[in-house]
Structure 1
Amino acid sequence: MAGLTHEAAAAHVTATNPTFKVGTADIRGVTYKVFENIPASVPALLPASRAGQGDGAWDYLVYRDERWTYDAFCNDVNRMAHALMRDLGVTRGQPVAIAMRNCPELLILTMAIASTGAVVVFVNAWWTTQELDYALRDSGAKVVFADGDRIARLAPLKTAMDLRLIGVRDGIGMGDDSYGALYAGSTDTTWPEVPIAPENDFAVMYSSGTTGHPKGVVQTHRGAVNAVFTWLMQAVMAPLITPPEDGAPPAPRPSVLVVTPLFHVTATHPMFLLSLPAGAKIALLHKWDASEAVRVIRDEGITRFLGVPTQSADLMEAARRMGEPLPTLDFIGSGGAKRPAAQVAQLAEVFPRAQVATGWGMTETNANGIGMAGPDYIERPGSAGRLYPPVQELKFLDDRGREVAPGAVGEITVKSPCNMRCYLNKPDATAEVLHEGWLRTGDLGFIDEDGFVTIVDRKKNIIIRGGENIACLDVEGALHRHPAVAEACAFSVPHERLGEVVGASVQLRGGMTVTLDDLTAFLRDHIASFKIPAHIWFRDTPLPRGATDKIDRRALRAECLATLDA
C-alpha cells in the first residue's frame, strides 16, 4: 500500500482523529491554531494518560534499582502536592525552584508543583553560587528543592534571600526540611482540586541569550501540552506515510531513556511529558555514562534515545566496544545542537533497526519546532527537517521584518500556542522577539520546495557546547572581573566530540600578567565549568574593531583559529 504524503497524512489525522482536532483560540489578543480536545494543563496529563499506561499497572519510571508503576508515580505526585500546600504553604502562581541532577524526585516534584497551580522554576544544576543567586532573585523563588551539591552552593544565599531549602537524596539533613519527611507526613493520594487555566504559567526555564545573564523563559500550560500533542501526532502520522509491511508484528510499547539534564526542555518535554500520553516507560540516568546507557537500553528494552550529538557518538562507540547491537532501539534523536552530517550514516549502519532523527526547537517554543527521521534524514543530513504540523506556522524574515523569497536565507520565525508567554522581567527583550504571536528565533535558514528547512547560521552570539547553550557575553563578563583583563571577547572553537567549545581572546592591562591556569582557576568561582574557555589567546594590543567601533568577533575568531591550525 502506498503511503500518504506528509501534508495528506496531517490532514487525514486532524480530520478523522478527535484527539487531534484543530480549532482556534484567542491568546493574549492573538488568534492561534490549537488542539481543541487535549488536557487543559500539564498535571491534567496524568489522569488522562492512565488508561494508556495499563490502567496504571505498568512499570512507568525506572532509576537504578528503583521502580514505580504508573499509579505509584501518580500517588507520589499527589502526596507531594498536598504536602506542598499543607506543610509549605505553596499557593497558586508561587515560584518553586528545583535544583538537582536527574533523579525521580525531579519528575515527581515537577508534576506536584504544577498540580498546586504553582510555577516550576528549573535551575541549571551546573550553575555556581553567583549564577544561582541571579536566577532565584529573578524568579522570586523562596522554596528550593535541591540535592547535596546544590544545597552547598545555595547555603551562602540562604539568609540574605530568606530561602527555605528542602534536601533531596544526598541533600537530606543539609536543608531546613527534607523531601522524605514531607513525603512521609502526607498520605493523601487524591488529585488536588486546584483550578488551572490553559494560559496559567507552568514553568520558568532559563535559556542563554545575548546578554550576560540568562533569560527566564515563561512557559504556559497550553504551550507545553500543545507541544506534547504535536509530537504525539507525528507518531500517528508515521505509519500513514510509511505503511508497515503486511504481517509485521505490532510495535512494542515505547520506552525512553533520559540522558540529558531535566532542567533543559529537551528532556522535560519530548521525553518526560510526552511519555505520559504516549503510554511509554521512562528510565533515567543520573549523569551521562555511555556504557551505563548501553546496559539500561539492553536490560529495559529501550526504544527511544534522544541526546546531544556527542552522546549519540558515545553510545555508538560503547555499543561497538561492548558487542551490544541494541535491537530494541527504533529511534535515535538529536537535540540541543546540530549533528555532524557524517554521523547520520554511521548511526544508521551501527543501529540498522533504528530511525536516526534530528530536531530543532527552543526553550522559547516549548521545544516544538522542526524535525525529520529515517530516509528523509539520511538523504538530507544537513537539513533540520520539516515544520511539525498542525498548530505551527513558519516564515523567514529579513532584517527589516519582511518575508524573503522561498529558498532565500532569512530569520526563522514561528507562530504557535507553544511559544513562550514572555521573558521573565524583561519586557524589552520580549518585545524584540515576539510580534503578534510570531517568535523571531535568531536562527537563519531557508526552506526548499519540499518543505525541508536548513539552518545556516545563528544571529545570536551563542556557543553550543555538547548541547549546552553558552552566551558569549556571560563568559566575557566573568573574564572582565579579573583585574589583569582589560578587554575580552569569547567565540566558538570547533571540537570533534562536543561540536563547539569556548574560546576567548584577552587583552591584558599594561604592566600586568596572568597565567592560563590562574585565569581558569579564577573563572571557576564565577561561571559554570562548561562555560570556562578551553582556549585563551593573550595579547597586549587592543582587540580588532569594525567600522562601528564594536569588537570584530568574526575577524578575531578567524585570527585565533588560524594559530590553532598552524
Structure 2
Amino acid sequence: MPETNSEEMKTSTVGKAPRWSREVVRAEVAGYPSLIYAERPRSVPELLVDARRWRGREHLVQGERRITFEAHERAVARVAWRLKAAGIRPKDRVLLFGANQIEWVVAFWAVQCLGGVAVLGNAWWSEPELREVTVSIQPALALTDSPRPAGLPEGVPCLHFGDLRHLVDDGGRGNEPGLDIAAIEENDPSMIIFSSGTTGVAKGVILSHRSVVCNLQNLLVLTGRLPNELPESHPGTVSLLSVPLFHLAGIQVACSTLLTGGSLIFLEGRFDAGEVLRLIEKERVRVWGSVPTMVSRVIDHPDFARFDTSSLSSIPMGGASVSSELREKVHRAFPSVRGGGGSLYGLTEAGGVLAAGSGPEMAKRPGCVGRPLPVVEIKIKDPSPEGVGEILARTPTAMSGYWGKDSSTVSPEGWLSTGDLGRMDEEGYLYVVGRSKDIIIRGGENIASGHVERHLLTHPDVEEAAVVPIPHPDLGEEVGAAIVLRPRAKAGAEEIKAHVAKSLARFEVPSRWWIRRQPLPTNPTGKILRREVLREWLERGGRDIMD
C-alpha cells in the first residue's frame, strides 16, 4: 500500500459534509420537469463523509465480527486501493456476486469511491443466467463468494470476497491509504440492479448517483432522520438485514443505516427464521426490514415464544402486498410494533420507494400502500369508472434506462410506467389492486411467466405451457405450471421439474403442476389465456392435478 499518513483521511473532491434539506423545488431532471430536493449530496460516496460523526460506534455486525464506523471507512479506503491496483477506473463496472457479508458492503463503497459502477448480481442466478448477464455487462472485475463461480466467463477477472477479509479486519496500524473520492457527476451511473420483466431475462436497471441519493433523502425525510437534523446524541437504530443486499431494499437499508449512525446486523448464511429470532433478542434489534414471507415464517417458528422480541418497534415490509391477515398476525406476535408493520411500495425501475405508510395508517386502509413520498408524483393512466388504471410515477429517483437497451418505460415527460394497476383515494392514499404485466411475486422475488414457459417448452414432451400465480399462505404466490403433453408422451411433473431446474433459478422452478391432455384456452388469435387457466385451476382447489 502507498505510505499515506492516516491521521487525517483525505478526500479528493469533498471538503465538508454535504448539505441536506426538506425543501422541494421543481427543476429539469434528465430533460423533464421533476420535483427534487433543493439541497442534496451530488454523489453516493459523499455519504461516507456524513458518517464520520459516528466514528466510534459499531456499524457492521456479523457473527463475532464487529466493525466500527471508523474501521469501516479505513476498510473502504484499503479495498479501494486494492481495486485500483487491479485496474479499476471511473465508469468501470464491477460485479458483486455473493451473499450478504461485511466484505460485500465494504467493496460496494470502495467501488463508489473509485467512481465505478457497482453491478449487484443476484446470488441465486443459475449458471446460464450468470453467464448471460456477465456477457452483456462486460464487468472489468467480478467479486464473488467462491474463487470462480460456474457460469462466470473465463475472460472476466475474478477476486474472491475472502481475499478482502484481511483488508477489512486490519486494525489500521501504521501508514495506509486515505479515503479518496473520485470526481463524480450527479447523472453518472452509480449501480446496476437487475429486474425480471415480462420476458424473464434479467434486465440491468441503471441508477444514477442522483437516483440513489434522492431515494435515500425521501426515506430519511419520511422517518425524520436527515443527517443535519440528527443531534450527536442520536442513538442510532439497530437494524437487522435479512433481505439480500443485491435487492434495492437491501442497499437502501445499508446506506440509510450508515447515514444515521446505526448498526447493521447480518445473518450468517441464508435466511433462517430461528437465527432471525436469536439475533433480534441478542442484538436488541429495533427495525427489521423484511418481506411478508420472511415475517410469516419467523412468527410461525416453533420456538417463537422462547425469544424476547420486545425491542422490535418497526417491521417495514416490501417486495409483495401485505394482507390484512398478516398485519393482524404481526400485531399479535409483536405488540411493540405499531399497527402490524408499515408498508413500502416501489420498484427497481423507480429507483426505490414511491409510496409509504405507517402501520396505523395501513391498518385503517386495507389494500393501501401509503402516500407518495416528497419528490414522487403519481397519476393513474386511463382510469376505469372505479378509478383503477395503470400507476405512473414521475420522480428524480427513476432509472436512467436499461443496460444495453434503447427502449425505456419512461415517457418524454418523465412518467415511468410501473406495470401495476391501482387507484388513489380523496386523501391521496395509493392502492395497488393488481398487475398489468404477467409477473409472479414469490416471497418477494419477481418471476416472469413467459420466461418460465419458454424453459418448460424445451422439454420434448411438452406441447403447451401456461405459468400462473397460485396463492400461497406463506410465499404470497407460488409458481404454477399448467402443461399439455404431446400425444403418447409419458413425462411427469418430477421429470419436467428436474429438466427446467437445470436452467432456471431455484425460486423460478414451478412448485404446483397441472398435467393435462386438453389444450389450454386461447383467444381467437391463438394466444393462451393465462387468466382462464388460473380461474379454472383455482376452482379446482389450486392443488396439483393430473388429468
TM-score scaled by length of structure 2: 0.89
Between 228-237 and 203-212, the greater mean CA deviation after superposition: 228-237
Shift of 1:359: 1.0
Structure 1 vs Structure 2 CA RMSD? 2.3
Tell me if 1:190 matches 2:178: yes
Deviations 1:63-88 (A, max 9, x none): 011010001111111111121112x1
1:549 to 507, 526, 531: 526
| Structure 2 residue matching 1:151: 3-state secondary structure | coil
1:415: which partner in 2?
Answer: 394
CA distance in 2, matches of 1:386, 1:325: 33
* Mapped contact 2:235–2:261 kept (Cα < 8 A): no
Equivalent residue for 2:406, pick from 427, 432, 435: 427
Matches within 5 A, 1:387-466: 387-389=372-374, 391-398=375-382, 404=383, 408-428=387-407, 430=408, 432-466=409-443
**Could you tell me how far apart the structure 1 residues matched to 2:114 and 2:531 are?**
48
Residue 529 (structure 1) aligned to one of 506, 509, 513: 506
C-alpha displacement of 1:182: 7.0
1:461 Cα deviation after fit:
0.4
- Secondary structure of the corresponding residue to residue 149 of structure 2: helix
- 1:524 maps to a residue whose letter is A
Distance 2:303 2:322 in 1: 20
Q: CA deviation at 1:344?
A: 0.9
Task: Select which of 118, 131, 134 maps to 2:132.
Answer: 134
Residue 302 of structure 1 aligns to a residue whose secondary structure is coil
1:18-47 deviation digits (Å, cap 9, x = unpaired): 622323443321222222322211111011
Match for residue 61 of structure 1? 60
Structure-1 separation of matches of 2:281 and 2:423 = 39
3-state secondary structure, aligned to 2:129:
helix
Q: 1:511 to 1:406 in 2, by over 3 A?
A: closer
- The one-letter amino acid paired with 1:361 is G
Deviates more, 1:449-458 or 1:35-44: 35-44
Q: Which residue of 2 aligns with 1:5?
A: none
Residue in 1 that maps onto 2:348: 363
Query: Secondary structure of 1:236's match?
Result: coil
In the alignment, what sits opposite 2:44?
42
For the residues of structure 2 that align with 1:384 and 1:256, how far apart are their CA atoms?
22
Work out the CA distance in 2 between the residues paired with 1:324 and 1:540: 51
Residue 564 of structure 1: SS of its match in structure 2? coil
Counterpart position of 1:158: 153
Q: Given the alignment of the two structures, is residue 217 of structure 1 paired with residue 209 of structure 2, yes or no?
A: no
Distance 1:129 1:302, change over 3 A: same
The residue that corresponds to 2:296 in the other structure is 313
Partner of 1:100: 98
* Map of 2:11 onto structure 1: none
How far the C-alpha of 1:433 sits from its partner, in A, is 4.1
**Aligned residue type for 1:133:** R
**Amino acid paired to 2:238:** S
Matched residues in 1 for 2:20 and 2:123: separation? 40
Contact 1:412 1:441 in 2 (8 A): yes
Per-residue CA deviation, residues 121-164 of structure 1 (Å, 9 max, x unaligned), is: 1111111110001111221214111112x83323xx432xx111
Q: What residue in structure 2 maps to residue 384 of structure 1?
A: 369
For 1:62, give the aligned amino acid: V
Q: Does residue 1:31 correspond to 2:33, yes or no?
A: yes
Match of 2:7 in 1: none
CA–CA distance in 1 between the matches of 2:369 and 2:452? 28
Q: 1:434 Cα shift?
A: 3.6
Asked whether the equivalents of residues 447 and 454 of structure 1 are also in contact (C-alpha less than 8 Å), the reply is yes
Q: Secondary structure at the match of 2:398?
A: coil
Q: Deviations over 1:210-257 (max 9, x none)?
A: 01312111101110111101111111299xxxxxxxxxxx98531110
Q: Equivalents in 1 of 2:123, 2:266: separation in Å? A: 16
- Pair 1:65–1:142, CA change in 2 (3 A): same
Q: Which amino acid aligns with 2:307?
A: E
Q: 1:278 to 1:478 in 2, by over 3 A?
A: same
Alignment of 1:115-514 (within 5 A): 115-148=113-146, 151-154=148-151, 157-159=152-154, 162-169=155-162, 178-180=163-165, 188-236=176-224, 252-269=235-252, 271-285=253-267, 286-318=269-301, 321-355=304-338, 356-389=341-374, 391-398=375-382, 404=383, 408-428=387-407, 430=408, 432-514=409-491
- 2:303 & 2:428 partners in 1: Cα distance? 36
For residues 34 and 322 of structure 1, what CA distance do their matches in structure 2 show?
46
Cα 1:214–1:152 change in 2 (3 A) is: closer
Calculate the TM-score normalised by the size of structure 1. Answer: 0.86
Amino acid at match of 2:287: R
- The secondary structure found in structure 1 opposite 2:499 is helix
Q: Given that residues 433 and 439 in structure 1 are in contact (C-alpha distance below 8 angstroms), is that contact kept between their aligned partners in structure 2?
A: yes
Note the alpha carbon deviations across 1:337-371, whole angstroms, 9 max, x for none. 01121111221232222231111111112222111
| Native 8 Å contact 1:384 1:452 kept in 2 | yes
**Counterpart Cα distance in 1 of 2:509 and 2:349:** 25
Where does the alignment leave 5 or more consecutive residues of structure 1 unmatched? 1-16, 170-177, 239-249, 399-403
**TM-aligned CA distance change 1:319 to 1:222, over 3 Å:** farther
Judged with a 3 Å threshold, the aligned counterparts in structure 2 of structure 1 residues 233 and 306 are, in CA distance, closer, same or farther, namely same
Q: Give the whole-Å Cα distance in 2 for the aligned partners of 1:361 and 1:212.
A: 19
Maintained 8 Å contact 1:411/1:445: yes
Greater CA deviation, 332-341 or 314-323? Answer: 314-323
Q: Does structure 2 conserve the Cα–Cα contact (< 8 Å) formed by 1:365 and 1:419? A: yes
Q: Matched residue of 2:432: which SS? A: strand
1:76–1:189 CA contact under 8 A, matched in 2: no
Q: Which has the higher helix share?
A: 1
